[in-house]
Amino acid sequence: MSYEILKYSIQEKIGIIKIDRPSALNALNSQFFHEMNLLLDEIITGKDGENIRVLVITGEGKAFVAGADISEMKDMNSEQAREFSKTGQSTFRRLELLEIPVIAAINGFALGGGCELALACDIRVASSKAKFGQPEVNLGLIPGYGGTQRLPRIVGLGNALHILMTGDMISADEALRMGLVQKVTEPEQLMETVIQMANKIASRGPIAVKRVKSVARQGMLNTFEIGCALEKERFGDTFGNEGTEGMHAFLEKREPNW
């Protein structure tokens, strides 16, 4: 399937989504959400033609995503705005719940909805030139795609409220200090670094990787005891199949046959 805003390619077991609307700094509009949902459908159902193990999302030009499309939002009434928020929240939740790991390769501005998109990914790697922020209060608005909920869970309440209430941008290094991103690279090394990371994850036990993501994310929404109980069940599930193969391969000093 062809898309107007998204470019999708597959590199071995890695799916790569590039948001390609540089004239608008890749701002998120209704068309973006429509295309992203169609693409997620393809990935989830396997209709993309490949059994990809990791998904990478990045942007074209000097922005990852510089926010939601204000030109589309400016004349919305309250109900239309709630529907636009609901669409964004639903799309990003689908991305977050995708079985396979999702890495954001943040090449430039990740502001507003762009920061929220990055927050919905599992791992975030940033160019040293990247800038982050939730500037909605500068417009008399608040985040609408989960930013008020994910940001405190990732960087802590104080850091999140500082970002959310000032509307200020922060640097990649500051984002790294807060734990908003996991790694910062030079701009020309960003995609190489991310692809190396994605290939490393893809080389691990694919079922185990999916279960790690699922158990960790479910555990974050429950008590420690419930999370440990779920971990115990999924730990046991790995025996007799992929886990057994991995242990035998280790003892036999050979590569596992996933």
Q: Convert the pLDDT of each residue in 12-67 to its tens digit.
A: 999 999 999 999 999 999 999 999 999 999 999 887 666 899 999 999 999 999 99
User: Final residue of a domain: which of 202, 220, 240?
Assistant: 202
CA distance 178 to 176: 5
Q: Tell me, what's the pLDDT at 48?
A: 67
Question: Quick one: 81 and 10 in the same domain?
Answer: yes
Question: Mean pLDDT across the stretch 105-118?
Answer: 98
Position 258 in a domain: no
Question: Mean pLDDT across the stretch 142-154?
Answer: 98
DSSP string computed for 109-135 = EEETHHHHHHHTSSEEEEETT-EEE-G
Report how many domains make up the chain.
2
Question: Quick one: 198 and 213 in the same domain?
Answer: no
Question: Quick one: 120 and 233 in the same domain?
Answer: no
- Tokens found for residue 208: 């185990």
Confidence of residue 4 (pLDDT cuts 50, 70, 90): very high
Position 257 in a domain: no
Question: Quick one: 160 and 209 in the same domain?
Answer: no
∠ CA 100-102-106, rounded to 5°: 170
Question: Quick one: 123 and 48 in the same domain?
Answer: yes
Q: Is the pLDDT of residue 167 over 90?
A: yes
Q: Cβ neighbours of residue 48 under 8 Å, at least 6 residues apart?
A: 8, 10, 15, 39, 42
Question: Quick one: 147 and 232 in the same domain?
Answer: no
Q: Tell me, what's the pLDDT at 234?
A: 96
Mean pLDDT, the chain, as a whole number?
96
Q: Tell me, what's the pLDDT at 49?
A: 60
Tens digits of per-residue pLDDT, 211-223?
999 999 999 999 9
Position 147 in a domain: yes
Catalytic-role residue among 35, 60, 136, 242: 136
CA distance 98 to 63: 24
Question: Quick one: 175 and 219 in the same domain?
Answer: no
Q: Is the pLDDT of residue 258 over 90?
A: no
Question: Quick one: 61 and 174 in the same domain?
Answer: yes
- Find where tokens 């929220």 sit: 116
Question: Mean pLDDT across the stretch 123-149?
Answer: 98
Question: Mean pLDDT across the stretch 74-97?
Answer: 97
Burial class, 89, CB count within 10 angstroms (exposed 0-12 / middle 13-18 / buried 19+): middle
CA distance 189 to 87: 33
Position 256 in a domain: no
Question: Mean pLDDT across the stretch 126-153?
Answer: 98
Q: Which domain holds residue 208?
A: 204-251
Position 179 in a domain: yes
Position 1 in a domain: no
Question: Quick one: 74 and 137 in the same domain?
Answer: yes
Position 48 in a domain: yes
Q: Tell me, what's the pLDDT at 239?
A: 95
- Tokens found for residue 48: 């993309």
- Tokens found for residue 169: 């941008």
Q: Tell me, what's the pLDDT at 133?
A: 98
User: Final residue of a domain: which of 161, 183, 202?
Assistant: 202
Question: Quick one: 196 and 127 in the same domain?
Answer: yes
Question: Quick one: 58 and 183 in the same domain?
Answer: yes
Respond yes or no: is residue 116 known to be catalytic: yes
- Tokens found for residue 147: 């930013």
Respond yes or no: is residue 252 known to be catalytic: no
Q: Which of 102, 94, 109, 103 lies closest to 28 in space, CA to CA?
A: 109
Position 106 in a domain: yes
Question: Quick one: 55 and 25 in the same domain?
Answer: yes
CA distance 45 to 30: 23
Catalytic-role residue among 60, 72, 83, 116: 116
Q: Tell me, what's the pLDDT at 80?
A: 97
The CATH number for 246's domain is 1.10.12
